[in-house]
Amino acid sequence: MDSGSICFIMICAALVFLMTPALAFFYGGLVRRKNVINTMMASMFICGTAIVMWILFGYSFAFGGDNGGIIGGFDFLGFNNVSITESTRGLVIPDMCFAIFQMMFAIITPALITGAVAGRMKFKALVPFICLWSLLVYYPLAHMVWGGGFMGNGEGTGGLFGTGFYLNSVDFAGGNVVHISSGITGLVLALMLGKRRDYDRGAYKPHNIPFVLLGAALLWFGWFGFNAGSALAANGTAVHAFTTTAVSSAAAILSWMFLDIVTSGKPTLVGVSTGLVVGLVAITPGAGFVPVWAAIIIGLLVSPLCFFGVRLLKKVLKIDDALDAFGCHGIGGIWGGIATGIFGVKELAPGVESGAKWNGLIFGEGQLFLAQIESIIVTIVIAVVGTLICAGIVRIFTKLRVDEMDERVGLDVTQHGEEAYPSFNGLD
């Protein structure tokens, strides 16, 4: 065991944990005054449920013994047999350090979904949905990609139901597992819930832009732990991932700001904050696998993809993805996965589990690119089917959407009995 790496990963875990409260500020600032507490609460309750679930069975299902290349086993239920001194994965950090780092991903991922349903989903429907979704979508995906399942690298008679079939795709820090899965889920839920009241008539403007910047800045800060920590050691790969994370986000800020100026004549702080986030999303799948120069290209291109993707979604298709969970995380994650297949270099991240077996398309090899496309398709199918199942189960016991009067009054008062700004007397 390497004490330096243990310390590094524990710090990274704390940084990733900070991302969920940061997301609460980011999402909270984007909604109307009457829904800010509900929106922030949607992120914060997950800090409780996700940690308890991860300890009881989540880690075991994600990283326990392989079952058909789809799901883990019961090896680590209740964190039993999770060593504090040894690694069963061949790492320089003990299993519990690895498990705690991965736990933070299990918190932030379902929190991303909540942006798509802001302002209209019942809280008592959201809680069981998130719990079911973690069980049916997140844990299996984490296992398939990172836990020895069929979407990662492998040999022998394992793979998908013992056929020995492996996609050999790569996902450094969560393009499939975190962003595409949550973005697609958000899109499906937005379609199921329908548009917010007055969506086609009223203007839905952010109520607190400083909150948006605060959340985005803390997300950027936490994301360095998110991506660099995914090297699972204090080494050169971590430094490389840290660098590509900074570069991609910086490039995305510039390209989104340029788009703001071209389309509206003025740069906006909300635009810069959004560009910052989509740049982080796009680099996540390949942070340790693509050259630094490629991170600039990835960041520059993700902003127009998300910018016009959001416009298509909202203005043409009339889909109310409230805070652009799919528009940013879904589209950004898909582009990031594809870009990894284009720019990936197999010599990078040599010590990382499930490292790239091939170079990217730009270097004359097509296998990695095809594997990335296949993994994205699989992730989309799992997210769609899993979301429909989870929502169907929740619907048996309660409606997904609040009543019209509750939506009119605001979810802060109707769902929680609290007001973020009780002294405010203006119209909303």
Q: pLDDT at position 153, please?
A: 82
The residues, any chain, with a CB within 8 Å of residue 216's CB and separated by 6 or more, are: 22, 26, 273, 274, 276, 277
> Could you give the CA distance from residue 72 to residue 58 in angstroms, rounded to a whole number?
9
Which two tokens mark 73?
């086993």
Name 71's bridge partners.
Answer: 67
* Interval 97-121: pLDDT, tens: 999 999 999 999 999 999 999 999 9
CA distance 428 to 424: 10
138: Cβ contacts below 8 Å, ≥ 6 apart = 58, 62, 106, 109, 110, 177, 181
CA 395 to each of CA 125, 285, 398: distance values in angstroms, whole numbers, following the listed order? 8, 34, 5
Give the containing element (helix H, strand E) for 344: none
Please state, for a pLDDT cut of 70, what percent of the chain lies above it.
95
> Per CATH, is 3-416 categorized as 3.30.300.20?
no
Q: Burial, 370: exposed, middle or buried (Cβ in 10 Å; 0-12, 13-18, 19+)?
A: middle
For the chain, list residues with pLDDT below 70: 155-157, 162, 202-203, 350-354, 423-428
Residue 190's φ and ψ, nearest 5 degrees, are -60, -40
Q: Return the pLDDT at 267.
A: 96
Q: How far is 138 from 59, CA to CA, in rounded Å?
A: 11
Q: pLDDT digit string (tens) for 372-422? A: 999 999 999 999 999 999 999 999 999 999 999 999 999 999 999 999 988
**Whole-number pLDDT of residue 351:** 60
